[in-house]
Chain A
Amino acid sequence: MESSFAGLAHGFEVALQWHNLIWCFAGVIVGNMVGVLPGMGVLSTISILLPLTFSMPPVAALLMLSGIYYGAQYGGAICSILLNLPCHPPHAVTCLDGYPMTKQGRGGVALGITMLAAMVGAAFGIGQMMVLAPYIASIAFKFGPQEICALMLLGLLAGSTLAKGSPIKGVSMTLFGILLSLAGTDINTGNERFTFGYIELSDGFELVAISLGLFGIAEFLKSVNSVAPTGARSVKLGVRDLRPTRADLRQGLPPILRGTIIGSLCSLIPGTGPTIASFIAYAMEKKISKSPERFGYGAIEGVAAPEASTHSAVQGDFIPTMSLGIPGDAVMALLLGALMIHGIQPGPRLIVEQPDIFWGLIASFWIGNLILVFLNVPLIGIWVKLLMVPYRYLYPTALFFVCIGVFATRNEMFDVAATLGFGAFGYLLLQLGFEPAPILLGFVLGPRLEENFRRSLLLSRGDLATFIDRPISAVFIGLCVLLLLAQAFAAYRKMRAPVRVPMSAFE
């Protein structure tokens, strides 16, 4: 505990250096903007800005990229509550009661409660990370290659089966991602794999090319004609409208606390990020409420609980990423990829060896969230105006940034063409009902998985049983098997009693 405070103090020293502070500020502002703009996603924005961060020091790069992620959560809520637009999946459920509140003239109160929920949720999530991440890392310190391998397997399985969409499709996307990561020169044997004679591929595919293809170009292709133009609905809100009454607070506070707990639990399981947390929180509030009939007609609990859970899950998402080097979703995979490009090896040693990064990041979370809360209240009018920017102006501009960003990564036009290829392929995948996000998980973890698998077998002289002989590794493998059995059981039940599938009703 004491070392946490020493670490945090060090973190504030790092995060308050002026260049880090500026990048953190830039990150949360861009994030908030992206959250508000219909049709722009967190993943595509982080990918677009990724090349820009290559010339920055790693700490500043990470602070900014993370700022986009949690900043977008603030913007997304505004979009849902004021305009009934579920621009961001984690805030889709907030529309259900947030928009009715707006129609009743209580949109300001809904936003005020959201800010409060965000503060409580984020504070809990960050606190949890300060305590848990160093602890988890200290356990993981003793892991050999077998444990790392088994843990990665568990992370990849959970990440691809628990997220939305079909588990079979999710796992196949993960395998495809690992396969992509193998392209290039095999560092162990010197063999070239999947390079098809292109010299440009001898270092493998660029992370930026893959992520901008799948989450930039493919998304544009999907959304160009499907993002509805926002009507010029004028919403006038002042700072004073945001203040909840005492009754609102009494009604909203318990759901905020319950939502926070749900979010923090969800964030610890890879694959169940903020979106799932918000759905669970909403469903639970409705279940335990004495008057569930109010839900859907502007119940304040229906805004407070999911928002709190989203914010605490978003911060908690960073825990497995920073303590084990195992990302729970595509955003985290991208952040890890960014660290690796800066030459920083993720894993349990990161917290000890790179205290600037870990504690600087945590301190920047506190600063960033404070900036967001104080910024959002007076700037609400500007965000509402931003909502009117039509998508048909945004995507061509973004496409140009994609092209030049990919090119600038290593001054190679080949990568721009590869991005286009991944974009077309990603569009095909979307049409066929795949979620491309797990590709990124596989791509980022693939090389480490192969490396540790090879090392495990070298140590055990080719005995595969080494993964179940060692107790900790056996536990992870056991969890993998359990996960697969649970999925198979769920699929079997769905086949037998096919009528009610509550989550998919929202898809």
Chain B
Amino acid sequence: MNLHRDHIAGALIAAIGAFAVAMGQSYGFGDLHNIGSGFFPVVLGVGMILLGIAMAVWPQRSITGLVAHHKIGAPDWRAAAAITSGVALFILLANSAGLAPAIFACVFASALGTSRTRLKEAFLLALGVTVFGVLLFAYGLKVPFPILTGVLN
């Protein structure tokens, strides 16, 4: 049997449900007179476990009615790497190096998520957005960051 993507989807939902039930145990279930903090997590978790099982047992069918072997589409690793590092660089640089390097790194890194963008294009785009972003957020909206740590505060 080929693995249908709904088997994985069901497993994921059931796992989240199981996690909620497990965590909910410690919050106090209460009783129906006065429900505790754990009531909703446990009830929701049980619901998700059941739905997860249902999802895996009855996978979605395609239009032709055959159980289509919906494979999970190959993830776009290039885009994932570029966008993740774009956000991560923003987080790392904004506090330590300042707003301008953070914007530049974020835009430059994420722009490289597609092979259609050349290095030079990414560089120019990042430069443009940085200038615009610094003007708008540092001078206009007064976001509490140094523009360039140690140089322009």
> Which residues of A approach B to under 8 Å, CB–CB?
166, 168-169, 171-172, 175-176, 178-179, 182, 186, 188-189, 191, 193-194, 217, 220-222, 224-225, 229, 390, 392-393, 395-397, 399-400, 402-404, 407-408, 411, 413, 416-417, 419-420, 423-424, 427-428, 431-434, 450, 453-454, 457-458, 461-464, 491, 494-495, 498-499, 501, 504-505
Kindly provide the distance from the CB of B70 to the nearest chain A CB, expressed in whole angstroms.
7
A225 to B111, CA, bound (A): 11
Please tell me if the beta carbons of A457 and B16 are within 8 angstroms of each other in the complex: no
Nearest 10 CB-CB pairs, A to B?
Answer: A498-B65, A462-B32, A462-B33, A224-B79, A191-B37, A396-B111, A432-B9, A172-B51, A186-B37, A396-B110
Contact status of A420 and B84, CB under 8 A, knowing A172-B52, A176-B48, A396-B125:
yes
Known: A225-B114, A399-B83, A505-B63. 6 other contacts (CB 8 A): A220-B79, A402-B87, A407-B143, A411-B144, A420-B88, A423-B87
Contacting residues of chain B (11-43) with chain A, CB-CB under 8 angstroms: 12-13, 16-17, 20, 23, 27-28, 31-37, 40-41
Kindly provide the distance from the CB of A488 to the nearest chain B CB, expressed in whole angstroms.
11
A-side contacts of B31, CB under 8 Å? 462
Please tell me if the beta carbons of A221 and B80 are within 8 angstroms of each other in the complex: yes
B-side contacts of A229, CB under 8 Å? 116
A220 to B20, CA, bound (A): 29
Interface flags, B32-64, vs A, CB<8A=1, else 0 = 111111001100110110011011001011011
Range class of the B interface residue count: 35 or more
Please tell me if the beta carbons of A404 and B143 are within 8 angstroms of each other in the complex: yes
User: How many interface contacts (CB-CB < 8 Å) are there between A and B?
Assistant: 191
Contact status of A178 and B44, CB under 8 A, knowing A225-B114, A491-B58, A504-B63:
yes
A225 to B76, CA, bound (A): 8
Please tell me if the beta carbons of B116 and A392 are within 8 angstroms of each other in the complex: yes
Tell me whether B94 is interfacial, beta carbon within 8 Å: yes
Contact status of A392 and B44, CB under 8 A, knowing A432-B8, A434-B9:
no
Interface centre among A189, A396, A428 (most CB of B within 10 A): A396
In chain A, what residue has the closest Cβ to B142?
A408
Q: List 20 A-B contacts (CB under 8 A).
A: A168-B51, A168-B54, A169-B55, A176-B16, A178-B40, A189-B36, A193-B23, A224-B79, A392-B114, A392-B116, A396-B110, A399-B83, A413-B94, A420-B91, A424-B84, A428-B12, A431-B5, A434-B9, A453-B40, A495-B61
Tell me whether B106 is interfacial, beta carbon within 8 Å: yes
B-side contacts of A225, CB under 8 Å? 76, 78-79, 113-115
Pick the contact of B106 from A169, A191, A400, A423 — CB < 8 Å?
A400
Tell me whether B151 is interfacial, beta carbon within 8 Å: no
